[in-house]
Amino acid sequence: GATLYITRDLATAAYRKKTFNFVKSLYVVGGEQTNHFKQLKAVLKEAGYDWSDDMVHVPFGMVTQGGKKFSTRKGHVVKLEMALDEAVDRAEKQIEAKNPNLENKEEVAKQVGVGAVKFYDLKTDRNNGYDFDLDEMVSFEGETGPYVQYAHARIQSILRKANRKVNIDNISLVVSDAEAWEIVKALKEFPNIVKRAADNYEPSIIAKYAISLAQAFNKYYAHVRILEDDAQLDGRLALISATSIVLKEALRLLGVAAPENM
């Protein structure tokens, strides 16, 4: 006779514990399977396997398009390869419009297009669904991956123009405006953000933080003459350099590249 999902999962759980002796075993499976994993853990617990407490169901919401559920049987699907190719193409068109002389345009377009799809998926609270919309994903405006990447690239451009060695480990920073202070407060929170994301298996915490930090930098950029040659120039450069480092690391944790030119 045929086996059941539950019997296969029971055998697999025992095999994984014996083979890998895991500290945590994460099941990243849709939220509709919550009851199944509760039953799986309950059976293992009843059988005396206390390590079942280390098995964690990490549920996620449903992805729709136009408000409709994806269905392979009905042919209502978006193939990932085609979606990524389209995202890269749209990213390249926007880059062409913004910076037509960019040397490594195709490489950057791939980083932006693929990163846009990843970022959009991960910025949504894990238990919530979202509507698959490439136009919104690849936009350079709004709460998107390209918006965060562009903030990072803009900082790199400013640092190249400054043409000064920036030492963020030994700098006297005078915070004299509200915009700079918002960045300082945000940078201070980054370690806590990463820990909270890890503790809750929730990458959206990092994605939303990256958006917030990029917004804080763009506000600072709009109100402050960063490259003005005065006594606080090195401090301002150190501040945006630190911002760039944190934006790049936040993107890296989400599996998204941080181009230095866009």
Question: Does residue 115 sit in the same domain as residue 46?
Answer: no
CA distances from 124 to 65, 130, 168 (A): 15, 7, 33
Residue 218 has pLDDT above 90, yes or no: yes
Same domain (yes/no): 98, 55: no
What mean pLDDT is predicted for residues 169-178? Answer: 75
**pLDDT for 73:** 61
Indicate if 19 and 129 belong to the same structural domain: no
Evaluate whether residue 207 is within a structural domain.
yes
Residues 104 and 54 in one domain: no
Residue 82 lies in a domain: yes
Q: Is the domain of 226 the same as that of 115?
A: yes
Distance CA 164, CA 158 (A): 10
Dist. CA 9–CA 37, nearest whole Å: 9
Q: What does the pLDDT read at residue 25?
A: 98
Provide mean pLDDT across the span 85-107: 95
**Domain identity same for 52 and 132:** no
Determine the average pLDDT of the residues in 104-122.
97
Does residue 158 lie in a domain region? yes
**H or E element in which residue 184 lies:** helix 178-199
84 neighbors 115 (Cβ within 8 angstroms) = no
More confident residue, 174 or 57: 57
> At residue 107, does pLDDT exceed 70?
yes
Q: Domain count of the chain?
A: 2
Same domain, 26 and 82: no
Q: How far apart are CA 201 and CA 30, in angstroms?
A: 14
State the DSSP string of 187-226: HHHHHHHHHHHHHTT-THHHHHHHHHHHHHHHHHHHHS-T
Distance separating alpha carbons of residues 113 and 95, to the nearest angstrom: 11
What value does the mean pLDDT take over residues 214-232?
A: 93
Residue 43 shares a structural domain with residue 93: no
Residue 16: exposure state from Cβ atoms within 10 A (0-12, 13-18, ≥19): middle
Quick one: 95 and 216 in the same domain? Answer: yes
- The answer as to whether 177 is a domain residue is yes
47 and 17 assigned to the same domain: yes
Taking all residues of the chain, what is their mean pLDDT, rounded to a whole number? Answer: 93
55 and 84 share one domain:
no
Residue from 132, 134, 122, 124 nearest 68 by CA:
132
- On whether residue 261 sits in a domain, the answer given is no
Q: Which tens digit of pLDDT belongs to each residue from 40-79?
A: 999 999 999 999 999 999 999 998 888 787 766 666 667 8
Is the confidence at residue 203, as pLDDT, over 90?
A: yes
**Residue 179 in tokens:** 């915009």
Instruction: Summarize the confidence of residues 230-253 as an average pLDDT.
Output: 94
Tokens 């049987």, located at residue? 73
> 159 and 212 share a domain?
yes
pLDDT at 171 > cutoff 70: no
Whole-number percent of the chain with pLDDT over 70: 95
pLDDT at 232: 86
The answer to the question of residue 258 being in a domain is no
Q: How far apart are CA 217 and CA 35, in angstroms?
A: 44
**pLDDT surpassing 90 at residue 177:** no
- Can you give the residue range of the structural domain that contains 114? 78-253
pLDDT of residue 215: 99
Give a yes or no: residue 69 inside a domain: no
Residue 184 is part of a domain; what is its CATH number? 1.10.730.10
**Per the domain annotation, does 195 fall within a domain?**
yes
Diameter of the chain measured on Cα atoms? 80
At residue 247, what is the residue type?
A: L
